[in-house]
Chains A and B, each alone.
Chain A
Amino acid sequence: MTETLGKTGTLVREVAGTTHAPPPPGRRRRRAVAEEPGKPWMIRVPLFLYLLFTLIPFYWMLVFAVRPSGSTQLVPWPISFEHFDTVWNDIGFGIFFYNSVVMGLGVLVFVTILSVMGGYALARFKFRGQRVFLLAMLCSQFIPGAMMLIPLFVIFKGIGLLNSITGLVIAEVAFQLPLSLILMSGFIRNISVELEEAAMVDGCSRLRAFFAVVLPQLKPALVAVGSFAFIGAWNQFLFALMFATRQDKFTLPVGLSYTLGEFNTDFGALAAGGVVAAVPVVLVFAVVQRFLVQGLSAGAVKG
């Protein structure tokens, strides 16, 4: 460990030494200031601006959703829930919401289980066709979703899965699985093999060793991949739009897209529908983003 550190340290020293002439004395002070960890304005000002950019659109939606029709106040008071009543009961967002939840959870469960299985196979075994399998999954990322529309439509029609949430779940799982599986195998590879081997030497089966040793350490990865899957399914638009023509099978993005067209002037309904679609997924995201960053930095990006 110390050896590597020494090496990298020297490396940086060399780079800095060869190309950097000794600085003129006048610049020394300025650099000393730049090195202070503080420099709050360098962080605060751009961060504040970016926060405005992020939050103003959300705020606008919230305002439109809760202020009564006809009002133009930017700080709405009193708050009215008439638009929510309209979208939830009259337009049918209650049903869309239910469909989206079922689809999101279905995709979450299957993607998580299948990616743990496949990720474990990739990380812990060496098998014939491994490279081809990995390559095929990477290549699948370059296939346009729109490319699948025509043949998938034909398939779904053939097996009677048009207008069915089950069909949407299957298609979405198939599309999310490659990337989730690659991420998951990265996580598993980063978990050291020794404990697992020790458990197996002690008489555990591989399966028991997996559940006792690997799975507990995999929690952040499960949260990251699972939430990725849920958010992806919640937002799936193209397939949901194509494969669900009956209104009782719409998911939230599809319902919302119709709201965009049909209620072009009813901004209150549009905003209330938007809040219904946004709140669960933004909440999920706010909770798990920490795990997501941790999980990704744990090795997934490095592959």
Chain B
Amino acid sequence: MRTRTWAPYALIAPTLVLMAIFLVYPIGSVVYYSLQRYNVTQPWKNGFAGLDNFKQMLFDDPLFWQSLAFSAKWVFVEVGLQLLLGLVLALIVNETFIGRGMARALVFSPWAVSGVLTTGIWILLLNPSTGIFQELSNLGIGSPGTSVLGNPDTVFDALVVTELWRGVPFFAILLLADLQSIPKDLYEAASVDGASRWRRFTSVTLPHLKDAIILSTLLRAVWEFNNVDLIYTLTGGGPANQTTTLPLYVARQAVDSHNFGYGSALTVAGFLILLFFSIAYLRVSKFGSRA
């Protein structure tokens, strides 16, 4: 079957062309722009800038560090909670019970919903006058007029819960898929040997899930780092840039300020950070080696 022919090249040719135009070339040009002064509003200043953009970013731009710190916090909290809840959810819907298919379809469904739509739905749910907190206060729970989105102390929690709503199903689906590939004999053998439910979980299930967990947390970390739609539509990065992530900051530099050079430098920094993080994560977690 494995012969040397032109066939595989013909088969991947369209993919290669697309990737060259829409991935490789843009990466190259972002790197190029990052070394330029390139501002649409001040074209007379455009030209080679060397590392000036990066110097400004590292030493002269508190918003860069602030947005980076928020991105890190966001990824850490969001992915950690998603993993935990997603694992529990996957274990639950992996059990046999009546109505399981229906339950799966329902609890997984927010995964199909976009960030913008998630925002819309949660704005309806959380709005102070007709949202759920108002209804609860009608029942005597909590205080009326609670505005979690308008309050700087609670807006982060609201963001996190909102993203959990559509993010947990993603983990649950991936982990459920991997749970189902665990041979039943392993559990039977463990049962025969008198292993408790918890013991079977830690000795059979978790080691088997290890690679799936590493891969899904990594993918999700990258996606959450790059998440734009939810945060953009829910808070727009505010109040006072408190919820501005690095990609949001990039978008603002590019779209609002037309500062393509500096925006590109921020992008390159974000890319390098993700790359470094990913490699370190795969190394430290020993991806690919079964426990």
Residue ID in chain B nearest A236 by CB atoms: B114
Least CB distance, A179 to chain B, in whole angstroms: 9
* A-facing residues in B1-24 (Cβ within 8 Å): 1-5, 7-9, 11-12, 14-16, 18-19, 21-23
* B-facing residues in A89-142 (Cβ within 8 Å): 114, 117-118, 120-122, 124-127, 130, 133, 136-137, 140-142
Number of B residues, CB within 8 Å of A: 108
Q: Within 8 Å CB of A299, what residues of B?
A: 181
A204 within 8 Å of B (CB atoms): no
B260 within 8 Å of A (CB atoms): yes
B111 within 8 Å of A (CB atoms): yes
Q: Assess A40 versus B97: contact at CB under 8 Å? Given A8-B186, A121-B12, A125-B5.
A: yes
Q: Are B181 and A177 in contact (CB under 8 A)?
A: no
Q: Are A142 and B112 in contact (CB under 8 A)?
A: no
Q: Are B121 and A296 in contact (CB under 8 A)?
A: no
Work out how many contacts link A and B, with CB atoms closer than 8 A.
317
A196 to B229, CA, bound (A): 45
* A-facing residues in B79-136 (Cβ within 8 Å): 88-89, 92-93, 95-97, 101, 103-117, 119-125, 127, 130-132, 135
Interface flags for A35-69 (1: CB within 8 Å of B; 0: not) read 10100100110110011011111101100100000
Q: Are B121 and A60 in contact (CB under 8 A)?
A: yes
A155 within 8 Å of B (CB atoms): yes
A274 within 8 Å of B (CB atoms): yes
A284 to B117, CA, bound (A): 16
Q: Are B125 and A56 in contact (CB under 8 A)?
A: yes
Q: Are A140 and B113 in contact (CB under 8 A)?
A: no
Q: Are B106 and A15 in contact (CB under 8 A)?
A: no
Residue ID in chain B nearest A280 by CB atoms: B112
Least CB distance, B126 to chain A, in whole angstroms: 9
Number of A residues, CB within 8 Å of B: 111
Q: Which one, A78-86, A146-154, A215-223, is touching chain B?
A: A146-154
Residue ID in chain B nearest A65 by CB atoms: B124
Q: Which one, B44-52, B55-63, B140-148, B193-201, is touching chain A?
A: B193-201
A226 to B254, CA, bound (A): 33
Q: Assess A127 versus B9: contact at CB under 8 Å? Given A16-B194, A46-B88, A144-B270.
A: yes
Query: What 8 pairs between A and B have smallest CB-CB spacing?
Result: A235-B114, A296-B177, A174-B22, A285-B112, A151-B26, A146-B247, A121-B11, A297-B177
- Residues in B lying within 8 Å of A, measured CB to CB: 1-5, 7-9, 11-12, 14-16, 18-19, 21-23, 25-27, 29-30, 33, 88-89, 92-93, 95-97, 101, 103-117, 119-125, 127, 130-132, 135, 165, 173-174, 176-181, 183, 185-186, 189-191, 193-197, 199, 203-204, 211-212, 215, 219, 222, 225-226, 228-229, 232-233, 247-248, 250-251, 254-255, 260, 263-264, 267, 270-271, 274-275, 278
Question: What would be 15 A-B contacts, judged by CB atoms less than 8 Å apart?
Answer: A8-B185, A8-B186, A57-B110, A144-B270, A147-B270, A150-B267, A171-B22, A174-B19, A174-B23, A196-B1, A235-B229, A256-B120, A257-B232, A278-B117, A292-B173
